[in-house]
Amino acid sequence: FNIPFQREFFMSDVFVSAKLNVDLEVVTENMSWTAWTRVWKGEAGIFQWAIARVDDPELWGPAFDYESRVRVLLNGRIALEENEWRQGVDLPYEGGLASKIILDRWLNGDKNKIDDFNGSFSIIIIDEKSQKIHIWSDRFGFIPLYLYEKREVLFCSHPDILSRALRCSGMSCEIDKTTIAEFLRTGSAIHPYSYWKEINQCDPGTNYSLTVADNSINCSKRQYWGLQNYKGPYLSDRKEIVSKLTYALKSAIRKRTLPRLGKISVLLSSGADSRTILFGACNPEKVLCHTLFDERNEELLGSIALAELANAEHKHHKREVNYYFNHASEAIRISGGMWSIDSAHYGGLATELKNAGVVLTGCYADYLLKGLAYSRTHVKIFGKNLPIYKLIKPETEFYQPFSEINPSWEHKVSQRSREYFSSLDFDAENTIAEREYLRLAPLSREPDSSGRLFLGRTVGHDFFMADRDILDLVASIHPKQKLNGIPFGMAVNNIVGKKAKHIKNNNYGTPVGSSELKRIFYFIAASLKRKL
């Protein structure tokens, strides 16, 4: 836990301390992964802060108003329409355009105006005059944020940087072995625990407020958005679902591919999710596509064909045999070690993508719009699994299989899980959305998260699935409609259009937008072909 940080990669992180005087040089050194990382830091009364970014400071740097002495720090990204960006150009504040827009809404409105911001972010507003700090986590916890709360209060986007700052200030920070056991058993850990007993992850969709009173810190919170209380009614009409998904996906991608944002890069496969970005972008022909591959197979050939149809430039990168082992240490260090190295797909791409502009992937469509977090099993025919699912009675395991560990530690892990889900009636259909939310949120904890965290801390990465229009649909689509991702595929087909219809979804070997019956037909046909 004291391995020095390597300087090969760079990082985007944020740090705030209240009442504990930390060495900001230590904090910023751990945030500065290369000579070209941009770091801002400062002090305001009993508050200290630091932020590092790897992207354009003119767009994404912090902002400050000298008259009100209010400062905005933005980790991650907000998503705006072009007219909203234009309105911020002439604002009289110092700093990055996105942060100036946040600052202006704060100075001319109330907390609700900050609640309305869209995207994957942590927003920190520091009021130096009143000695108050207000912090917003994004709706589904795409961007991690951790909290230490005792007499002092500290926030940081990386738990190891936070623990190091505490220990350098003489504070205790003890390893949580139950969380380690939980990772070994399940591949992740129940919210809000981290590897450090004193450090917990912040809740998603939550506004935290720090105020000074009688030389003490009061930390309060309120939830401004959440799906865990959704009880219906569900959207069941498939045409309506497809129509709303089509609009939400197109809107989300448009806002993240505006010409104002500069270069656009897509990590492209021949599945359904990433092609949505390519063909939904404002200017598909100006998108730069990147594909990782091991051998020249159908996945690679499909991505090449998609890029050609969009008239987009395409680069493909061959992974060496030991790719995941060679980049394992960086993946563990950058992600905080709470996720598996076999999901760290982008370890060898950081240098290639450092000047790639906005980097978009199809991440989290499976989790949010295809029922990956449901308790489900394959439909079978003649004992063989078909590529469609049916709902089953809720089980402890979902998606990622659990591993056996020492029984005494397994008991502690199970106890945590029982406590976390204790409020749910597992037999009630109307709690399916709530179970899904509790399993997924914050999304930065899910078992595949190491790859997403690596991207978020090394390049100008953004999540189009974090868009509010999409998230508002997550719980409202009927589970039986969402279960196999069929409406999602049909919405993708609406965006991609007929010209790419012949390039099959490589995950199923079917045209994008296929129904359940068509997916089964192609599966059986492919099986018969293999046997012949």
What is the percentage of the chain residues whose pLDDT exceeds 90?
70
Task: Report the distance separating Cα 113 and Cα 99, nearest Å.
Answer: 14
Position 339 pLDDT exceeds 80: no
Q: Any idea what the Cα angle at residue 61 is, between residues 56 and 67, rounded to 5°?
A: 145
Task: Report the distance separating Cα 524 and Cα 109, nearest Å.
Answer: 59
The pLDDT-based confidence of 361 (bands split at 50, 70, 90) is very high
Q: What burial class does residue 184 get, using C-beta atoms within 10 Å of its C-beta: 0-12 exposed, 13-18 middle, 19+ buried?
A: middle
Mean pLDDT on 325-341: 81
Task: Report the distance separating Cα 185 and Cα 338, nearest Å.
Answer: 12
pLDDT of residue 5: 34
- The number of CA neighbours under 13 Å toward the Cβ of 284 is 17
Q: At what angle do helices 486-496 and 238-256 cross, to 10 degrees?
A: 50
Residues linked to residue 317 through DSSP beta bridges, in sequence order: 292
Task: Report the distance separating Cα 111 and Cα 385, nearest Å.
Answer: 50
pLDDT of residue 356: 87
When the pLDDT of each residue in the chain is averaged and rounded to a whole number, the result is 90
* Cβ-based neighbour number of residue 223 at 10 Å: 13
DSSP string across 17-86: EES----HHHHHHHH--STT-EEEEEEETTEEEEEEESS-HHHHS-EEETTTTEEEEEEEEE---HHHHH
Query: Phi/psi at 82 (nearest 5 deg)?
Result: -60, -40
pLDDT of residue 64: 98
Alpha-carbon torsion angle 236, 242, 247, 251, nearest 10? 100
Report strand pairing: 38-44 vs 63-65.
Answer: unpaired
Distances (CA, A) of 255 to 85, 103, 467: 10, 20, 9
If you search the block for the tokens 């002495």, which residue do you land on?
69
Strand, helix or coil for residue 213: strand
Per-residue model confidence as pLDDT tens digits over 456-505: 888 889 999 999 999 999 989 999 999 999 999 999 999 999 888 889 99
The pLDDT-based confidence of 7 (bands split at 50, 70, 90) is very low
The pLDDT-based confidence of 229 (bands split at 50, 70, 90) is low
* Cβ-based neighbour number of residue 213 at 10 Å: 8
- Identify the top-confidence range among 343-347, 412-416, 430-434: 412-416
Per-residue model confidence as pLDDT tens digits over 61-117: 999 999 999 999 999 999 999 999 999 999 999 999 999 999 999 999 877 789 999
Q: At what angle do helices 273-280 and 238-256 cross, to 10 degrees?
A: 60
- Tokens standing for 492? 């993708």
* Separate counts of helices (H) and strands (E) for the chain: 21, 20
pLDDT of residue 249: 98
